[in-house]
Amino acid sequence: MSKTNTTIYKITFLQNDNVLEMYAKNVAESDMFGFIVVENLVFGETTSLVVDPAEERLKEQFKGIKRTYIPMHTVLRIDEVEKAASGKIIARSQPGSKVSALSSNIYFDPNQEKK
């Protein structure tokens, strides 16, 4: 089965108090334990007259970055999509947000006593 288009992935993950949605051409397990590697970031069309401030903030944050490593425990979802849309930065405390905070501590010491 051959694909005529390049595969695009939508990665949704937590960073600080925000949920980020970004698009990339390559996503893989990293050689560093507990991380995924995201390469070849894809942003929306720059020729559009309408500027999306959320995507502009995302572009500025990842400006000049060829490859980024994201901790696995912050990844909410990775989807293979037909084409890239505008990336987003969503505040988790934003009214009407349907994203719930998950426990960020997935690595624990089983010998540690519970308090």
**Structural domains of the chain, ranges and CATH numbers in brackets:** 8-91 (2.30.30)
Sign of CA dihedral 25, 59, 71, 91: negative
Alpha-helical regions (H) of the chain: 53-61
Place of tokens 């980020």: 20
pLDDT in tens, 96-106: 656 555 555 55
As a whole number, the mean pLDDT across the chain is 78
In this structure, what DSSP letter does residue 55 have?
H
* Residues 68, 49: Cα–Cα separation, whole Å: 29
* Strands 88-91 and 67-71, bridge-based pairing: unpaired
Residue found under tokens 């934003």: 94
- This prediction has a pTM of 0.69
